[in-house]
Chain A
């Protein structure tokens, strides 16, 4: 018998957004404070897993129609491309560059190419964990 999950589902509807928000914050905080692509990716996955617990696999697939295998591939490619881009500028592999820019809203911000590498890490972490959870979940 399936119990009525209305309380879990209603709470999930709000909490998911807060977790995703926190994931974005942790992801960008990674350069100066604890955080980064790995935890950010895991937090994002935890938000999606919460959705899967409250609803079911099919609903979550409808809400987020993402192919997590290709997401992993895109993440790996992005990380590799960021590392390889330094070769073009005649510096050793994995050399990062940064500079300060005056962005609207953000003020004086340093943009670092490590961010792109972190985006790659983030995509790989989300892609791999979601692939594992989805494959295990679908068999049962």
Chain B
């Protein structure tokens, strides 16, 4: 992926020298033309086009914003409720993620969304221990995290 971005920058500079337009606009046009050529030759690379990965990052960010706003409202409702009959729990989440940065990102995303909090990661990095503020069903909570964040992170890290 980094190689493709590097090639795209290189092509943009080649374009600037070819057209003798050393301006930001010349660079941008060269970058777009280079991106078009790289897209045309995408089967030349053994891995995905870098734009699809960049798009996956954008989608992960939008998903985070959506989850953040939705669970913030949920926590707000819990806080302003007159009676506090909460059911807090600590549960275990088995993760498929392997790289250090993937697990860190997943933990950060789980912690940043209100209502859930990562309190520990097992030594073999296969399990996350999560504290939930108010939970109804473990399977529900696990599958909702797996469906949203873990899948979106996998989409980013897939080669």
Using a CB–CB distance below 8 Å, which chain A residues touch chain B?
13-14, 16-18, 20-22, 24-25, 29, 62-65, 105-107
Contact = CB atoms under 8 A, between A and B. Distances in A.
A65 B29 CA distance: 26
B25 A21 contact: no
Given A22-B18, A25-B18, A25-B19, A17 B41 contact: yes
Interface in B27-51: 28-30, 33-34, 36-38, 40-41, 43-44
* Most chain B C-beta atoms within 10 Å of own C-beta, residue among A16, A20, A29, A107: A20
Contact of A17 (B7, B25, B43): B7
A56 B30 CA distance: 30
B14 interface: yes
Contacts of A13: 44
The majority secondary structure among interface residues of chain B is: helix
Interface residues of B, number: 19
Interface of B: 7, 11, 14-15, 18-19, 25, 28-30, 33-34, 36-38, 40-41, 43-44
